Amino acid sequence: MAASAEPRELRRSLHLWQVTVSGIGIVIGAGIYVLVGEGAREAGAAVWLSFGIAALLSGLTALSYCELAGMYPSAGVEFEWSSRAFNPFAGFVAGWMMAVAYVVAAAAVSLGFAQYSQHFFDIDARVVAITLLVVLTAIVIAGIERSMWLSVLLATLQISGLVLVVVAGVPHIGDQPLLEGATITGVMSAAALVFFAFIGFDDIATLSEETEDAANVVPRALILTLVISAALYMLVGISAVSVVGVDALAASDRPLALVIEDDWGSRGSDIISIIALAATANTTLLVLTAASRLLYAMARSGALPSILSRLGRARSPYMGALVALAGAAAFASLGDIGLIASVTDFAVYCTFLSVNLAVVALRYRVPDAPRAFRIPLSLGRVPLTALLGTLSVIAMIGYLEPSAWLLGLGTLVVGSGVFLTLRRATTFAEESA
């Protein structure tokens, strides 16, 4: 009896609410539980305003993602778009940098999960991180439906934690001035800092080939994710300042735990730790999912070895997931979140830069191509938000540490080497045939 044919396409089963919840789940990560205090040190009581400005800056690039996702809904996202806008090399580099960002982010966030777990168990952080990566990779391989249902559950816990902070602050609104200690420089500096809290919205686009009516649904999910996340962040900032005051908020290493403890007493530490475990687990799950889809799409197009395009019974790219697991586990074994995260920051900004420039390029290369979502406010054919998004990303890159530049550029060089090696191998195989 002939063997059953291997599935060739991802299964379309996601709808607007699932894609939006997954986006919120990855944006609202554990970072908010620290960044609100860090932001208060720069912006004073106006930290909530810094979150609003950071959301607007993120929105500039998000609109570019919306237009491109509406034109070319693909799991390959940045790789696909940059290839069409520029050339195969630019596409490979954009895809490579984003794949690295996903893999390294999974490592960093899994270590964050491990650190929060030490509130309950005394186990080596690297062992916990790698165990989490293995378990979540198994869920990714089991299929998108299982992954999304788990993500919805974890995202519910994440959002509930922020809602608790907002509810705790409602009776105290007006007790503290919400602009105390604020300066324009401080607010903008804090906005650059908390900009990191919005990174992750781009992962939504990797679900395009598993989403019904992706050309329309994915842009809507992107916008909803940013709007809802920004509203929650700003309300959390207002509540936190109102409950404990800006000085206590800025001095605390666990600012939201401080807010919860004001209402719940010592149980607040346990509550925040549980919510942070949910947040870090969900973020890790979603970036592993995004990494496997991007590797699958690049391999399917011939940019990576074809073995990575293999799908399992659940029509999930299991080989891409296993490669992402191997890379993430290797980075997690280093045990240094700061070092690992710096690579992610550089890679994400480079990719954002390529996406904004791709929108402009495609406005000229294929001006009449169907666009399910079109960025408003253009100067001729050039969308103004894409230009502003490019400038904002360049400004954000300037805030990175020298070590981030060094590691990021090293990753870029390695990616270029991989591209040239694969291209030579392909050319040799074609000439030998």
| pLDDT, mean of residues 71-92 | 91
| pLDDT, mean of residues 196-216 | 88
107-132: per-residue pLDDT in tens? Answer: 988 988 888 888 888 888 899 999 99
Residue 389 is inside which H or E element, if any?
helix 384-397
Contact 239, 168 (CB under 8 A): yes
Instruction: Assign 344 a pLDDT band (cuts: 50, 70, 90).
Output: confident
Instruction: Assign 30 a pLDDT band (cuts: 50, 70, 90).
Output: low
User: Residue 225: what pLDDT?
Assistant: 95
pLDDT over 50 (residue 45): yes
What do you get for the CA distance between the two ends of the chain, in Å? 31
Contact 157, 274 (CB under 8 A): yes
Distance between CA 164 and CA 177 in Å, rounded?
Answer: 21
In-domain check, residue 426 = no
Distance between CA 269 and CA 265 in Å, rounded?
Answer: 9
Distance between CA 206 and CA 168 in Å, rounded?
Answer: 36
User: Residue 343: what pLDDT?
Assistant: 73
Dihedral angle over CA of 408, 209, 9, 199, nearest 10: 20
Identify the three-state secondary structure at position 211. Answer: strand
In-domain check, residue 429 = no
In-domain check, residue 424 = no
Least confident of 184-193, 320-329, 358-367: 184-193
Identify the three-state secondary structure at position 124. Answer: coil
Distance between CA 222 and CA 23 in Å, rounded?
Answer: 7
Amino acid (one-letter) located at 194: V
User: Residue 387: what pLDDT?
Assistant: 94
Least confident of 161-165, 200-204, 421-425: 421-425
User: Residue 358: what pLDDT?
Assistant: 96
Question: Which residue has tokens 């700003």?
Answer: 234
| pLDDT, mean of residues 61-67 | 95
Name the token pair of 34. Answer: 């620290």
pLDDT over 80 (residue 6): no
In-domain check, residue 291 = yes
Give the CATH number for residue 99: 1.20.1740.10
In-domain check, residue 413 = yes
Contact 93, 412 (CB under 8 A): yes
pLDDT over 60 (residue 430): no
| pLDDT, mean of residues 223-232 | 94
In-domain check, residue 7 = no
Least confident of 177-186, 192-201, 299-308: 192-201
CA distances from 42 to 5, 29, 240, 243, 396 (A): 58, 21, 15, 19, 16
Contacts of 188 (CB under 8 A, 6+ apart): 50, 53
Spell out a b/e string for 146-159, using b for 16 or more CB atoms within 10 Å of the CB, else e: ebbebbbebbebbb
In angstroms and rounded to an integer, the radius of gyration of the C-alpha atoms of the chain is: 21
pTM to 2 decimal places: 0.87
Q: Which residues are bridge partners to 382 per DSSP?
A: 379
Residues in the chain: 433
Number of domains present in the structure of the chain: 1
User: Residue 112: what pLDDT?
Assistant: 84
User: Residue 140: what pLDDT?
Assistant: 94
Give the angle subtended at the CA of 84 by the CAs of 80 and 85, to the nearest 5°. 115
Amino acid (one-letter) located at 321: A
In-domain check, residue 425 = no
Least confident of 24-38, 65-79, 363-377: 24-38
Q: What is the mean pLDDT of the chain?
A: 87
Contact 347, 125 (CB under 8 A): no
Domain that holds residue 57: 16-419
Estimate the share of the chain in helix, then strand, then coil, as percent rounded to the nearest 5: 80, 0, 20
User: Residue 433: what pLDDT?
Assistant: 54
Instruction: Assign 2 a pLDDT band (cuts: 50, 70, 90).
Output: very low
User: Residue 5: what pLDDT?
Assistant: 53
Contact 395, 419 (CB under 8 A): no
User: Residue 3: what pLDDT?
Assistant: 43
| Most confident of the following: 160-164, 195-199, 344-348, 361-365 | 361-365
pLDDT over 80 (residue 82): yes
370-408: per-residue pLDDT in tens? Answer: 999 999 888 888 999 999 999 988 888 877 778 878 888
Instruction: Assign 356 a pLDDT band (cuts: 50, 70, 90).
Output: very high
Least confident of 251-255, 351-355, 424-428: 424-428
pLDDT over 80 (residue 268): no
Q: Which residues are bridge partners to 375 per DSSP?
A: none
Least confident of 23-37, 218-232, 334-348: 334-348
In-domain check, residue 433 = no
Give the angle subtended at the CA of 332 by the CAs of 77 and 75, to the nearest 5°. 10
